[in-house]
Structure 1
Amino acid sequence: MIQTVEPTPSGVRTLRPPRGPAGPPPSRRAIGLLAVVVGMAGGMYGIGGGSLLGPILVGRGLPVAGVAPAALASTFVTSIAGALTFGVLSLTTTGDIAPEWALGLVCGLGGLIGGYVGAHLQPRLPETGLRLLLGGLAIAVAGMYAVQALA
């Protein structure tokens, strides 16, 4: 049977409750390939891969509780890789491209605290509320990017 995919933005798709069985979950290989592509896009644009990966996987019907750790790990790895890459490039390139290390460490500390608190709160929150929060945040971030692009 051929499965059709609606051309709906992932934030909007995440807001909608799943309609019955979503079909088989994506294979580990498909998720791995998606993670590589998202990591490359995140690295090129300077955003955490989890901000792309999370809504896509939740929109495909995977539970937020299972997607959140993968999204956090994705963001962590791409952030470290990006900071190290720009740090090395700043040593070999003219111009000021070095990371703002203090800002990065403070943001990382916030992410560490948020991840710890989120891991403890997540089992107590309903899946529907988490889906609405994730979808709403994805749409808000997309809106902010659109406004910045138009300005």
Structure 2
Amino acid sequence: MISVTWQTGVAGFAAGLVISLVTAPVGVSGAVFLLPVQLSVLHVPNPAVTPTNLLFNVVAGPGALARYRRAGGLTGSLARLLLAGTLPGVVLGACIRVFAIPGPRVFRLVVAVVLLPLGVWLIARAAQPGTRDRHPLSRRTVLGLGVAVGTIGGIYGIGGGSLLGPILAGRGTPMTIIAPAALACTFLTSIAGALTYGLLAFTTTGDIAPHWTLGLLCGAGGLIGGYLGARLQPRLPERTLRLLLGGLATALAVLYLVQSVHLVQSAA
């Protein structure tokens, strides 16, 4: 377990606040972008970084959700349908993360595979605002996507909602519906994922329990940032936010691909 200095604590709090402030308006918890900060700046060990990310989602989520609920954005059936798929998926993903891919090289490759299509999708949709949306996905397809994305989210520590959001937006679902539903999905699946990792920590050796101090500090920042971001949603241009998120996700994916190549060359 790493020691937490006051500088590390402040850095974690600030990172959670800033990231959530930017990502909450489009229904992303921010954990997808907090992960590299944990690895490179806060030095959270693998695979403890994944449950720590889920802990961040649990603490940070209520901020944005409280604002969206106050604005009436949590009505509708989309969140319930997503949860029916992502809740079992995130438990499966947590088990895969602990028993199948604990190594840093494979983990970075998984991160890149998740981030790259997400970033390219966001950029493509934002760069062509006049592109006609396709018909919304069927309930069965949304449920299937929920299981798949929940599994990826359990491996990656993002809950799953941040991956479903861009897909649903591209198929014609309005962002005003997607954002609160995706965040609600991320919040509840993160609780399930964090509990799964906690139980696995009793039966498996290694750093698989969340780093509670850093998770709580980052989450406290995310709690404030998420509330402010959700409050700013009606005033922020959606195209700019999508371009920003897409560019950041793509850049991080490329970074992890480069690091993975370096690890392969070092091992050779």
TM-score if structure 1 supplies the norm length?
0.76
Matched, 1:51 2:162: yes
Aligned to 1:5: none
- Paired letter, 1:21: R
State how far apart, in whole Å, the 2-side matches of 1:32 and 1:114 are: 30
Is 1:121 the counterpart of 2:239? The answer is: no
Counterpart of 1:141 in structure 2 is 252
Whether contact under 8 Å (1:55, 1:138) holds in the other structure is: no
**5+ long unaligned stretches in structure 1:** 1-7
Q: Are the aligned partners of 2:126 and 2:243 in contact in 1 as well (CA < 8 Å)?
A: yes
Cα deviation code 1:84-133 (max 9, x no counterpart):
11111112233442211122222322332222111110011123223323
User: TM-score normalised to the size of structure 2?
Assistant: 0.46
User: Per-residue CA shift, 1:10-63, capped at 9, x if unaligned?
Assistant: 233233224443132223332232122111111123334233223333333434
Q: Could you say which structure has the higher helix fraction?
A: 2
Q: CA RMSD in A?
A: 2.5
Cα gap change, 1:11/1:142 in structure 2, threshold over 3 Å: closer, same or farther?
A: farther
The whole-number CA distance in structure 2 between the counterparts of 1:148 and 1:11 is 23
CA distance, structure 1, for counterparts of residue 142 and residue 241 of structure 2: 21
Could you say which structure has the greater relative contact order, defined with CA pairs below 8 angstroms and 6 or more residues apart? 2
The letter for the 1-side match of 2:256 is: Y
Identity %: 62
Aligned length: 144
Distance 1:73 1:97 in 2: 25
CA contact (8 A) 1:38 1:49 kept: yes
Ranges of 4+ aligned residues in structure 1 off by more than 4 Å: none
Residue 135 of structure 2 corresponds to which residue in structure 1?
24
CA contact (8 A) 1:15 1:131 kept: yes
